[in-house]
Structure 1
Amino acid sequence: MVSAGASASDPVAGPVVGIVGAGAMGQGIAQVAAQGGLRVLLQDARAGAAAAGREAVAARLARLVEKGRINAAAESAALARIEAVAGIAELAPAGLVIEAVVEDLEVKRAVFREIEAAVAPDCLIASNTSSIPVRSIARDCAHRGRVAGMHFFNPVPLMRLVELVRTVWTSEETLARLAALGRRMGRTPVVVQDSPGFLVNLGGRAFTTEALRIAQERVATPAEIDAIMRDCWGFRMGPFELLDLTGMDVNYPVTRIVWEGFGHDPRLATTPAHRAMAEAGLLGRKTGEGWYSYAGGRAADPPSPDWQGEAAPARRAALAGEAPALAALCRAAGLAVGADDGACPILAAPFGADATAVAVESGADHRRLVCLDLAGPNAGAPAARITLMTAPGADPAIRGAVAAALVAAGRKVTAITDSPGFVGQRICAMVANLGCAMAETGIATPEDIDTAMTLGLNYPQGPLALAETMGRERCLEVLDRLQAVTGEDRYRASPWLRRRAALGLPVQTPA
C-alpha cells in the first residue's frame, strides 16, 4: 500500500487511497485523507472534475492556513499527496478505494465492477452511500468480504464520525483495516449493520419527526419548539432549524426511505406538512424559505418563542402535589405558596402527564391549573426558559399571571397547549426510545450508538445516555402516556427500554 519509489521523507509517502467521485463528499474525503498522511488518487468520470476537485481542496487548505488552523508546510504536504487521475484503472496502486458517486444503485454497481477489475485482490472497496444498502452494491462483487460502507458526513473536514457499514459478507479484517484508516483520517469509526439509514440517518429521525408531529397538533409553533430544545435541553439547533439547514429536498426523502425500509414503522413516520414543504420547493436556507425565512444565510425576522402579555404577576399559588423543585421556583419568583383559596393559580410540574391528566388525577381545577416543565437539564439555571402548559378550557388570565411572575423573575417563558410530556420530554423520550430500538436490533453497540449520535448530529448526549439522564422509568412513562392518549403504535416503548426499566438496569446493559 506504499507508492513505488516513495521514501520515508517523501511528503507523498504513505498508504494509497483511491476516491471515485470528486464532488463535495469526494473532495472532503480526499482532504482528510491527505491531512492524515495518506496518498490520494482522485478520479471522476466527468472531464476535468478530478482536477477541479483537487483545486477546491487546495482552496480550503489555504483558508485553513489563513485562519491559523494549519501551517504552510502542512498545507503543501497535504496538497502534494493528492493526485487527480483520469480513469479508474489508474487506481491500481490503492489499498483502499472509496466510491462517492451519485446515489444510484446501478451506477454504483458499475463503478464497483470497474474498481474490482483495476485493483489488487486485497484492496478494500468501500461505498460512501448514505441510503443504499451496501449489500445491494456488493452483490455482484467477486471478493465481497473486502467490501463495506464507509459513510462520511458532510462537511467531511468538520464532522469527525465515519460509519463502517458491515454487510453479511464483510470480514472482520476488512472492518479492522477500515477502522485504522478512518482513524488515520482523523475520524472516529463506529461499526454499523447494513440497514436503512445505517445508524445516524435512522437515529436522527425521532428528533425531527416528533417535532413535526407536535407542530401538526398545534401544541407549539416551530419557533417555540426550537427554543425549548435549545434552551431547556441543550441541543445546539432546534429540529426546525436543522430541517432548514439540511433542506427538505434532503431530509424528506431520507425520512421516507428509512420509513419504507422499516416496513412503514409509525415510530419513523413524518407528517403531511413535511412532504408539502418539499414538494412546494420550500427547502430551507438554500431557497430562502422553509420553516423560517432567510436573508443572507440568516433567519430574517423569526417569530418570537417568548410569552408576551400585559398580565399582572401572580403573588400566590397553590401546588398540586409535592414538588420541592417547583416550590423552590415559586420562592425565587416571589410567589407565596399556600392552600388553594379557590381563585389562585394551581401549579404542577408533571413528568409524562398532560395538564388534563394532572387535573383529573389530582382533583385540581383545570381552569386554574398551570403545568411547568422542570425536567430539562437546564431547567435549574436562574435564567433558563420555562415551558407552561394548560388544559383545554383554562383561564388565560391565570396562565398570564403565572407567566408574568416568571418573566419578572428573569425567566423566558414559552406557553404551549396540552401535551403528554410537554415538548422537550416528548421529543427526548422518542429520541431515547429509538436509540434503544437500535440497540435491541443490533444495528450497533449501545456505546457506538451514543458516540455516533453525538458526533454525527451534535446532540448533547447520545440517545441511551439521554434515557439515563431523563430516568429510564420516566422516559417509559412519557411514552406510555402518549400511547394511551393518542392510541398510536408510534409511541410503543422498545422492549429493550421496558425490560431495563423494570429491572432497574442502565439502558446500556447488553442483551
Structure 2
Amino acid sequence: MNSIYKTIGFLGGATEALQIASEGVADFATIDRILRDQAGFKLGPFQLLDIAGIDAAHEAISSVYQQYLNEPRYRPSHLAVQRISSGKLGQKTGEGFYTYVNGEAQMPAEVATPTVSEMPPVWVSTRAMRRPELLQLLKDLGAKIETGASPSAQALSIVAPLGFDVTTVAIVERLDPARTVGIDMLIDDKLTQRRVLATSPATRADMRDAAHALFARDGKAVTVIRDSGGFVTQRVVANLINIACDMCQQGLCTPEELEATGAADLGHSMGPLTMGNKYGPTEILEVLFNVQTVYGDTRYRPSPWLRRRGALGLSLMHTES
C-alpha cells in the first residue's frame, strides 16, 4: 500500500503545487509554508520533490500519466522539466526548487507585515465560508466592522470563497475589486498556524496592506498570494482527496486499506479520506466544482466516489452494501 500513498502524495500534492506555482500565485517557499502551517503537512511539496529528486519524481508522475492515457488529474508540470534540463535535481545536486548549502535548504525570508497608519472599516461578505467565525476573529482583532447589506465606499471588503477566486467573487457579488481581499477559511482558523489572503489583479496596495496588517495583529503568520481559484490549501487538499477517492472508486484499494498507513506516507496526521471527512465532503466537492469553473480544466472534475458521498452526506469511508 505504500506505493499507492506515495502516488497520491506526488499526484495530489506535488502536481497541484507545481500548477499553482506555474500560475505565479506564489513562489515555491511560500506554497510550502502555507501547506505546512495552514494544512498541517510536515513538509511542503517542493521540499519533498527536492528530497526525492526532481528527476525521479517527474519520472514517476509521468509514468502514471501515461499509464492512465494522459488523465488530466495526473498531468506532469513543465516546471519539473525545466529544472531537470538545467541539472537542478534537488538536494542531491545542491539546487532544485531550493538552493542547498552544506545540505541545508536556504529559505527566503517572508514578507514583513506592513505598517498601516489608518485601518479602514471592514465589511464581510454574507456568502463567506465560516462567516460567524470570521466575524468573531475580526472583532477579536479590533476591526471596525460594517454590518450593512453592502460595504461603504471606504470599506475593506473581505470574501472567503470555496474554490472561486477573488476576481470572480467580486464580480458576482458586485463588490469594488480594488477594495476586495479574500481569506481562505476552509480550515478552522483555530487549527492553523497561518492565515492566507489573496488579492485580485485590481486590489489596491493599501487595501492589501491593511488586510495583511489587520489579520496579523494577534501575531499569527499571514501570507498574501495572488489570485487563485481555491487559494493554495483548498486546491492541494481537494485534489489529493479527489485522487484518493477515485482510487477507491476504481477498486484499487478499500477505504480501510487507503487509510491504514496514509497519514505517515502523506506526511500528515490524517489519511486522505479522514482529511476529506474532517473538512467536509460537501465543502471539498464545492471546491472542486468551483475551481473547475474558474479554470475550465477537467483535472478538477470530482470523482464519482466523492460526488455521490458528498451529495448524500455520507462519509468518504462509506462502502456500498
TM-score by length of 1: 0.59
Task: Give, in whole Å, the separation in 2 of the partners of 1:228 and 1:368.
Answer: 24
Task: Give, in whole Å, the separation in 1 of the partners of 2:300 and 2:276.
Answer: 15
Q: Is the 8 A contact 1:312 1:404 kept in 2?
A: no
Percent sequence identity is: 35
Cα separation, partners in 2 of 1:306 and 1:329, compared to 1, 3 Å: farther
Which amino acid is the alignment partner of residue 269 of structure 1? R
Task: Give, in whole Å, the separation in 2 of the partners of 1:387 and 1:343.
Answer: 23
Equivalent position of 1:298 in the other structure: 104
More contact order relative to length (CA 8 Å, sep ≥ 6)? 2
Task: Give, in whole Å, the separation in 1 of the partners of 2:46 and 2:110.
Answer: 13
Cα shift at 1:440: 0.4
Q: Is the 8 A contact 1:203 1:435 kept in 2?
A: yes
Equivalent position of 1:243 in the other structure: 49
Q: How does 1:423-442 map to 2 (within 5 A)?
A: 423-442=232-251
SS of aligned partner of 2:89? coil
Cα shift at 1:468: 1.0
SS of aligned partner of 2:66? helix
Equivalent position of 1:467 in the other structure: 276
Equivalent position of 1:330 in the other structure: 138
Structure 1 counterpart of 2:121, from 305, 309, 316: 316
Structure 2 counterpart of 1:355, from 158, 166, 191: 166
Cα separation, partners in 2 of 1:307 and 1:211, compared to 1, 3 Å: farther
Equivalent position of 1:133 in the other structure: none
Cα shift at 1:358: 1.6
Superposed CA deviations along residues 2-34 of structure 1, whole A, max 9, x for unmatched, are: xxxxxxxxxxxxxxxxxxxxxxxxxxxxxxxxx
Structure 1 counterpart of 2:8, from 186, 203, 206: 203
Superposed CA deviations along residues 84-133 of structure 1, whole A, max 9, x for unmatched, are: xxxxxxxxxxxxxxxxxxxxxxxxxxxxxxxxxxxxxxxxxxxxxxxxxx
Superposed CA deviations along residues 235-277 of structure 1, whole A, max 9, x for unmatched, are: 0001111111111121111111111111111101121111121
Equivalent position of 1:510 in the other structure: 319
Q: Is the 8 A contact 2:120 2:156 kept in 1?
A: no
SS of aligned partner of 2:92? coil
Task: Give, in whole Å, the separation in 2 of the partners of 1:307 and 1:285.
Answer: 28
Task: Give, in whole Å, the separation in 1 of the partners of 2:280 and 2:75.
Answer: 26
Equivalent position of 2:227 in the other structure: 418
Cα shift at 1:451: 2.2
Task: Give, in whole Å, the separation in 2 of the partners of 1:451 and 1:396.
Answer: 47
Equivalent position of 1:486 in the other structure: 295
Cα separation, partners in 2 of 1:363 and 1:402, compared to 1, 3 Å: same
Cα shift at 1:313: 5.8
Name the one with the larger strand percent: 1
- Correspondence 1:455 to 2:249: no
Task: Give, in whole Å, the separation in 2 of the partners of 1:448 and 1:313.
Answer: 55
How big is the alpha-carbon RMSD for the aligned residues of Structure 1 and Structure 2? 1.7
Q: How does 1:375-394 map to 2 (within 5 A)?
A: 375-377=186-188, 379-381=189-191, 384-394=193-203
Cα separation, partners in 2 of 1:282 and 1:429, compared to 1, 3 Å: same
SS of aligned partner of 1:478? helix
Equivalent position of 1:143 in the other structure: none
Q: How does 1:31-110 map to 2 (within 5 A)?
A: none
Q: Is the 8 A contact 1:348 1:369 kept in 2?
A: yes
SS of aligned partner of 1:414? strand
- Correspondence 1:372 to 2:178: no
Q: Is the 8 A contact 2:55 2:80 kept in 1?
A: no
- Correspondence 1:225 to 2:31: yes
Structure 1 counterpart of 2:217, from 387, 408, 433: 408
Task: Give, in whole Å, the separation in 2 of the partners of 1:317 and 1:250.
Answer: 48
Which amino acid is the alignment partner of residue 233 of structure 1? A
Which amino acid is the alignment partner of residue 199 of structure 1? I
Task: Give, in whole Å, the separation in 1 of the partners of 2:194 and 2:111.
Answer: 9
Cα shift at 1:505: 1.0
Equivalent position of 2:18 in the other structure: 212
Task: Give, in whole Å, the separation in 1 of the partners of 2:97 and 2:181.
Answer: 29
Task: Give, in whole Å, the separation in 1 of the partners of 2:199 and 2:157.
Answer: 11
SS of aligned partner of 2:291? helix
Task: Give, in whole Å, the separation in 2 of the partners of 1:501 and 1:231.
Answer: 27
Larger Rg: 1
Equivalent position of 2:86 in the other structure: 280
Which amino acid is the alignment partner of residue 342 of structure 1? A
Equivalent position of 2:40 in the other structure: 234
Q: Is the 8 A contact 2:165 2:294 kept in 1?
A: no
SS of aligned partner of 1:405? helix
Which amino acid is the alignment partner of residue 168 of structure 2? A
Cα shift at 1:307: 4.9
Q: Is the 8 A contact 1:375 1:425 kept in 2?
A: yes
- Correspondence 1:341 to 2:152: yes
Q: Is the 8 A contact 2:277 2:316 kept in 1?
A: yes
Equivalent position of 1:255 in the other structure: 61
Which amino acid is the alignment partner of residue 237 of structure 1? L
Equivalent position of 1:94 in the other structure: none
- Correspondence 1:267 to 2:77: no
Task: State which drifts further: 492-501 or 445-454.
Answer: 445-454
Q: Is the 8 A contact 2:41 2:268 kept in 1?
A: yes
Cα shift at 1:215: 0.3
Name the one with the larger helix percent: 2
**Unaligned 5+ runs, structure 1:** 1-162, 164-189, 191-197
